[in-house]
Amino acid sequence: MSEFRTAVSAEFGEGYGPIVVRDVVMTELGSRSAEQAIEAGVPVADAWEALCREMDVPPERWHGRGLPKK
């Protein structure tokens, strides 16, 4: 979860990141936000990748700054 928060802040900023996680609803996650999906048991990595797709984050940045690549 801490890597998720770090990646969200790095990609979207400390102010906007939490809003994106809370408010962007994705059909891929069952019409839930990343926050709701994680709370419902969706793996954090899956929520992060869905958020990246939804927000058009280039795939090379899906792992966040300073985070290890898969």
| pLDDT at residue 62 in the model | 84
Q: What integer best gives the mean pLDDT of the chain?
A: 90
The structure's pTM equals 0.85
3-class state of residue 16 by DSSP:
coil
Examine the pLDDT at 69 and tell me if it is beyond 80.
no
Per residue in 33-57, pLDDT tens? 999 999 999 999 999 999 999 999 9
Per residue in 3-13, pLDDT tens? 899 999 999 99
